[in-house]
């Protein structure tokens, strides 16, 4: 591995990486928060069918993530680096496909056609194009710098970008895509949803261009000449306790996070009858995240990434436990709960730096690097968690009897509240336990690995 002498790492890199996160999450947050709602309420597809479709597609997506990681590792790279060119190649197809998922003009087609269209566009978006841009983007942070604190700033920038994108979607979209029917119920407009998808896709394209233009790869990682082996790959996960711990953590984390935020499209307009509160919740979460972001790097440097993320997880679970037992009908009380939960979730941003710590740990132990493959495993666990969450959410909505016709029945509304609390509550508690009992890279171990690699690379450079 060689470090190329180029422009020093700085705010331009952080801004570029921030833009990449915004671009990814403009389309991804729209999809995770509104696609199921669009197909249940506008297209008339069963929530169970949508959930199963999402689950199967994201399982495929998780597998393609691993394959994409291997492709990235084996790529030669060029003057623009090894990871950045993928962003340039894929930014057009992913933004176009994101728009085509909300094809309201097919609303009157047969149910079979709508399900096929839904499946086709969702597979292309999730399993092909999102994979082809997200794996190189995630790997890019390890190629931009080797310094742990600089990587932490990139993780923080990614988290801020993702949170702002989520806020933009959750604040603005509910204010423009709903209308009141004759009974005063808040109904999703298919036409407005399609227009919103177009705006988000165009914004994402512009942000991908900014990400490509403002980031610089400084760490040259030679291409891997070893053929990808599923057997060896699975074995490497089991042999690395850190990798195994991260896979389990991210699987549960994404299952939990997707379930919690994905239910916003149901609990606010249906249970509380207040889509504007969904917008307000997005604002509150963003404010909390930005405040936390100002302290995350310092907190991680003082206490350790593993440590602070686990404590945040336990805190969020405790708040959800209180929310479940109080079963409030007041949207104001719920927003107080949501703000407290956001305090715990605000710490999660530093978790984006965990894969780079594992890359260092494996290099210390084996002398080899596999940035793309490791980020492929990382993304695999994220997508698998999202897949399980989508399936559970769709099946549970069907189990409580949710359809466009029953969307405001009292029993269905209580079921929506319970789903919103129970799944995230269990998941966040498990997150904290996994980090403290399985994942071994404590603050002390991360610092030891960074010092070993610094001395090793300086020794190589002086020979």
pLDDT tens digit string along 140-154? 877 777 776 777 788
Domain containing residue 35: CATH number:
1.20.1250.20
In a domain, 287, yes or no: yes
What are the distances in angstroms from CA 326 to CA 8, 323, 408? 53, 5, 21
CA distance linking residue 96 with residue 202, whole number of Å:
9
Selection from 366, 122, 43, 414 nearest residue 232 by Cα? 366
In a domain, 357, yes or no: yes
Residue with tokens 């936390």: 292
CB atoms under 10 Å from CB of 343, counted, come to 17
What integer pLDDT is reported at residue 324 of this predicted model? Answer: 93
Average pLDDT across each block of 10 residues of the chain; the chain has 463 residues. List them in order.
Answer: 63 89 89 85 85 79 73 72 84 93 90 90 87 83 75 80 81 83 80 92 94 81 58 59 82 79 82 83 79 76 83 91 93 92 78 75 73 68 72 78 82 89 89 87 79 74 43
Q: What is the pLDDT of residues 352-383, one digit of tens each?
A: 677 778 877 777 777 766 666 676 677 677 77
In a domain, 6, yes or no: no
CA distance linking residue 38 with residue 19, whole number of Å:
27
In a domain, 2, yes or no: no
Selection from 55, 23, 27, 51 nearest residue 37 by Cα? 51
Query: What pTM, to 2 d.p., does this model score?
Result: 0.64
In a domain, 459, yes or no: no
CA distance linking residue 171 with residue 178, whole number of Å:
12
CA distance linking residue 263 with residue 418, whole number of Å:
10
CA distance linking residue 73 with residue 223, whole number of Å:
6
What integer pLDDT is reported at residue 209 of this predicted model? Answer: 93
In 166-295, which ranges are E strands?
178-180, 186-188, 219-220
- For the record, the structure tokens of 23 come out as 């671009």
DSSP letter (8 states) at residue 7: S
CA distance linking residue 458 with residue 456, whole number of Å:
5
What integer pLDDT is reported at residue 463 of this predicted model? Answer: 40
Selection from 222, 432, 240 nearest residue 355 by Cα? 240
CB atoms under 10 Å from CB of 162, counted, come to 22
Is 30 in contact with 196 (CB distance < 8 Å)?
yes
The sign of the CA dihedral 138, 139, 145, 146 is positive
What integer pLDDT is reported at residue 188 of this predicted model? Answer: 84
What integer pLDDT is reported at residue 229 of this predicted model? Answer: 57
Total structural domains within the chain:
1
In a domain, 422, yes or no: yes
CA distance linking residue 45 with residue 31, whole number of Å:
16
What integer pLDDT is reported at residue 449 of this predicted model? Answer: 79
What integer pLDDT is reported at residue 1 of this predicted model? Answer: 47
State which residues form the domain around 283. Answer: 11-217+231-452
Which alpha helices (H) appear in 268-366, and where do they start and end?
275-303, 305-326, 331-346, 354-366
What integer pLDDT is reported at residue 429 of this predicted model? Answer: 92
In a domain, 190, yes or no: yes
In a domain, 224, yes or no: no
């Amino acid at each position: 591995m060689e470090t190329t002498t180029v422009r020093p790492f700085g705010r331009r890199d952080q801004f570029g990486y921030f833009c990449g996160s915004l671009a990814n999450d403009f389309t991804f947050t729209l999809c995770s928060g509104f696609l199921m709602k669009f197909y249940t309420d506008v297209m008339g597809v069963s929530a169970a069918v949508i959930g199963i479709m999402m689950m199967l597609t994201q399982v495929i997506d998780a597998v393609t993530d691993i394959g994409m990681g291997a492709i990235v590792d084996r790529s030669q790279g060029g003057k623009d680096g090894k990871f950045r060119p993928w962003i340039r190649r894929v930014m057009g197809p992913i933004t176009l496909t994101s728009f085509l998922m909300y094809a309201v003009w097919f609303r009157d087609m047969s149910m079979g056609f709508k399900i096929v269209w839904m499946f086709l566009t969702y597979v292309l978006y999730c399993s092909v194009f999102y994979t082809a841009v997200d794996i190189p983007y995630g790997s890019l942070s390890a190629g931009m710098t080797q310094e742990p604190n600089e990587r932490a700033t990139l993780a923080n920038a990614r988290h801020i970008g993702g949170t702002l994108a989520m806020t933009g979607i959750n604040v603005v979209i509910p204010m423009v895509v709903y209308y009141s029917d004759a009974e005063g119920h808040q109904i999703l407009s298919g036409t407005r949803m399609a227009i919103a998808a177009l705006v988000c896709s165009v914004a994402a394209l512009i942000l991908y261009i900014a990400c490509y233009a403002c980031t610089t790869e400084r760490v040259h990682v030679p291409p891997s000449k070893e053929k990808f082996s599923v057997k060896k790959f699975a074995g490497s996960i089991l042999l690395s306790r850190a990798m195994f711990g991260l896979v389990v953590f991210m699987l549960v984390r994404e299952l939990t996070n997707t379930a919690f935020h994905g239910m916003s499209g149901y609990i606010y307009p249906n249970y509380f009858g207040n889509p504007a509160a969904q917008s307000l919740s997005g604002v509150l979460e963003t404010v909390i995240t930005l405040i936390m972001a100002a302290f995350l790097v310092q907190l991680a440097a003082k206490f350790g990434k593993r440590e602070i993320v686990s404590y945040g997880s336990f805190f969020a679970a405790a708040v959800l436990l209180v929310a479940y037992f109080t079963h409030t009908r007041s949207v104001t009380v719920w927003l107080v709960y949501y703000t407290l939960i956001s305090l715990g979730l605000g710490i999660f941003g530093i978790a984006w730096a965990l894969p780079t710590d594992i890359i260092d740990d494996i290099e210390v132990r084996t002398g080899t690097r596999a940035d793309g493959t490791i980020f492929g495993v990382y993304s695999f666990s994220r997508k698998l968690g999202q897949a399980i969450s989508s399936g559970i959410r769709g099946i549970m909505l069907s189990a409580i009897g949710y359809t466009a016709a029953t969307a405001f029945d009292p029993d269905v509304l209580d079921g929506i509240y319970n789903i919103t609390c129970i799944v995230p509550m269990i998941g966040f508690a498990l997150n904290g336990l996994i980090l403290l009992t399985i994942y071994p890279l404590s603050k002390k171990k991360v610092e030891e690995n960074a010092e070993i690699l610094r001395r090793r690379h300086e020794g190589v450079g002086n020979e």
